[in-house]
Structure 1
């Protein structure tokens, strides 16, 4: 009974959200805008010291880059950038990798390289720079960077990467935390070119009227936490079901950020299992 009630509430909320966002004019004739779930929703957590405490400063480690930084034009007139590892042979298969709130640091580049190697070097891997060059290991500064993001600029970065990959590109997405949320947002922005999305403990979009446009299923790899909570994840699952989309997910008995090897709270066993699920998912997408 509780599940049915929650299911009905999600559909009703989504319908009302769509109605007020698109069909209700103000007296001046302008459209009302509403807050949506997903990436921007996480900004509300930045004033909570406990959320900050979930993100201890990453440990330093040795890293030798095999890829290169590239730039490409965006619609707003400002170039976007990313860390690119090109496939060994020409390929229309791409994996977009999305950073944690620290920025495009060595950990994300290393994760990009790991996926590249384990996919046999057959997929172009591009880790997008969502902060336009800003990187930090300080939690407070990371929160400032995340708070200072502009949603339209972030969308332009994703769309610029889409153009860079080309109109024939088949693109999957993966990201962690801030980037986990953007993995799903990217999947929506990519339209028919999207072939998959992996969310590592990121805040998911839960509007049915948006999720119906997904061109793929989704893999969710979540942590045990109170922010991107079990309730939020179950709402997401019901919204995906209502949208007619497939979601496979697991809530690991581990803290937020468990899959980051440079995190002091890194959980090796959970990381191994989650990565195995992620790799298997991508191998099927890039078969």
Structure 2
């Protein structure tokens, strides 16, 4: 009887097929929506990179106000000179270069604070150049020529730095040094974090990394690729790169099987810059002595 009813009522089968198609379509739409939601949730909840985390601090008013306007500072180097080199993104980059007195493959890459490649950075680089002995020093410029004199500009410049461009600038500097170059890095604040990133980018050419109160890389898998030891000079009173962040970095370095030597000073973020009103002479001297003791044997 049931079979006969289906045959006589020819409209039943098409209706069943239509309903099945509707059901499958709705199921497909629900599945796609669920996948899209899951992907968007993963994207929104994904932890930003160390460099982006630091750049995001420019939106924090407390962080911005913790950077007093720099005191007037002028320096004219008789040793260093501006250079231009090609970058892999088809552009060029500017830098300030101190050439070693004698041919050597030892290079120190210097990364500026959030103010940009200003006179204080050049003066500090010349001091390192003289104190380290026969070494080439390259001051990279991640702001592409822009130098801030106000907090607002510094925050804007730091936020607009794109990782791809910054990496191209650093890789270009490494290429300028050459395939046989032995690369050490150093930086402060914004440049402190990028000092560590520079050593990661240098790969097997990396021989030493010094970072002053910069955002450390916390990705253990990335840290496993690091080819050198790290010296960290941090400020115990730093409200952002605080002792908790530093302790986590030390733990991550241990997990990655890498060596990090950390010194923390009773000072504020930015303590090593004499043009900064929070400058701490004692902490600066101690940190600099540790820095020289760390770099000298590795740059022989």
Report the RMSD for the aligned CA atoms in angstroms.
1.5
Residue among 134, 152, 165 paired with 1:140: 152
| Other structure's SS at 2:158 match | helix
Shift of 1:35: 3.4
Q: Which runs of 5+ in 2 are unaligned?
A: 1-34
| Other structure's SS at 1:272 match | helix
| Other structure's SS at 1:195 match | strand
Shift of 1:273: 0.2
| Other structure's SS at 1:216 match | coil
> What is aligned with 1:253?
266
Shift of 1:61: 2.4
Deviations 1:207-265 (A, max 9, x none): 11000000011000001222111111111000000000001001110000000011111
Residue among 281, 285, 290 paired with 1:272: 285
Shift of 1:42: 0.8
The structure with higher relative contact order (CA 8 Å, sep 6+) is: 1
Residue among 255, 278, 288 paired with 1:242: 255
> What is aligned with 2:132?
119
Q: Which runs of 5+ in 1 are unaligned?
A: 1-25
> What is aligned with 1:10?
none
> What is aligned with 2:168?
156
Quick one: distance in 2 between partners of 1:275 and 1:136?
A: 25
Deviations 1:144-170 (A, max 9, x none): 001111110000000000100000000
Quick one: distance in 1 between partners of 2:60 and 2:48?
A: 20
Shift of 1:36: 3.9
Moved over 3 A (4+): 32-37
Task: Return the TM-score normalized by structure 1.
Answer: 0.87
Task: Return the TM-score normalized by structure 2.
Answer: 0.84
Larger radius of gyration: 2
> What is aligned with 2:190?
178
Quick one: distance in 2 between partners of 1:124 and 1:64?
A: 18
> What is aligned with 2:101?
88
Deviations 1:2-59 (A, max 9, x none): xxxxxxxxxxxxxxxxxxxxxxxx77xx9x7643442211122112221112211111
**Pair 1:206 & 2:218 matched:** yes
Quick one: distance in 2 between partners of 1:162 and 1:105?
A: 21
Quick one: distance in 2 between partners of 1:109 and 1:130?
A: 14
Residue among 209, 221, 224 paired with 2:233: 221
Quick one: distance in 2 between partners of 1:244 and 1:189?
A: 18
Q: Which has the higher helix share?
A: 2
